[in-house]
Chains A and B, each alone.
Chain A
């Protein structure tokens, strides 16, 4: 099956710093990638849709200036959490959309802001 990687898998940062998370589709090209956030014992919430070569589309309530998304190539999307605060601590998961209606998820990045 298709593989999507995320890096890093875990990151601890200090409040006020920025963190970049990478999402790569390893064996297919993904014109669309999605970023989700999952708090403990909760479901996944879509944060934004990342389209290659264009601006990301953010869901209601997600601050686009805080969560910067760049989809520079057909295999790479990045999420940068700027000026992170403890309430941003969460599990961030990306997915890459392939044709035939299939989506493939990355392994997730656990962010802890101290």
Chain B
């Protein structure tokens, strides 16, 4: 059974600083997704990572995938308040989700 673990589950960030969220999964998979969810809203797709070594960047967010280590990271550069949300990673075509990481950016 595929299990997906995210950490940390809660991240209080200071504006301007850098942080990383980790996503580990238990069995081999060929795809990993990162999503953002704002309160009361559905999911917004951030990244789709389909191969080992894949790295994608959008604004202050950068995601990478190491399929050998079964690990993906979401790196936040110079956090800003607008990034406050819950971030989920999900693995496999059926999207097995991690528990989510709640990000709060403090001024």
Residues of A whose CB lies within 8 Å of any CB of B are 1, 34, 36, 42-46, 49, 93, 95, 97, 101-108
Q: Give the nearest-CB partner of A103 in chain B.
A: B95
* A45 cross-chain contacts in B, Cβ below 8 A: 97
Establish whether residues A43 and B97, one from each chain, have CB atoms under 8 Å apart when the complex forms.
yes
* A43 cross-chain contacts in B, Cβ below 8 A: 88, 97-100
- Chain B residues 7-51 with CB under 8 Å of chain A are 31, 33, 35, 41-45, 48, 50
The answer to the question of B96 belonging to the interface, with a C-beta cut-off of 8 Å to chain A, is yes
Chain A interface mostly? strand
Q: Give the nearest-CB partner of B102 in chain A.
A: A41
Residues of B whose CB lies within 8 Å of any CB of A are 31, 33, 35, 41-45, 48, 50, 88, 90, 93-100
Contact of A97 among B45, B90, B93, B96 (CB under 8 A): B93
* Docked pose: A108 CA to B98 CA in angstroms: 19
* Docked pose: A80 CA to B88 CA in angstroms: 27
Establish whether residues A34 and B42, one from each chain, have CB atoms under 8 Å apart when the complex forms.
no
* Docked pose: A94 CA to B107 CA in angstroms: 35
Q: Give me the 3 closest cross-chain CB pairs, A-B, nearest first.
A: A108-B42, A105-B43, A43-B97
* B94 cross-chain contacts in A, Cβ below 8 A: 34, 46, 49
Establish whether residues B31 and A44, one from each chain, have CB atoms under 8 Å apart when the complex forms.
no
* A103 cross-chain contacts in B, Cβ below 8 A: 33, 45, 95
Establish whether residues A107 and B42, one from each chain, have CB atoms under 8 Å apart when the complex forms.
yes
Establish whether residues A44 and B88, one from each chain, have CB atoms under 8 Å apart when the complex forms.
yes
* Contact A106 to B97, CB < 8 A, known contacts A43-B88, A101-B48: no
Contact of B45 among A46, A102, A108 (CB under 8 A): A102
Establish whether residues A101 and B50, one from each chain, have CB atoms under 8 Å apart when the complex forms.
yes
Q: Give the nearest-CB partner of B49 in chain A.
A: A101
Minimal beta-carbon separation of B106 from chain A (angstroms):
20
Contact of B95 among A42, A95, A106 (CB under 8 A): A95
Minimal beta-carbon separation of B95 from chain A (angstroms):
6
* B50 cross-chain contacts in A, Cβ below 8 A: 101
* Docked pose: A36 CA to B50 CA in angstroms: 22
Establish whether residues A46 and B96, one from each chain, have CB atoms under 8 Å apart when the complex forms.
yes
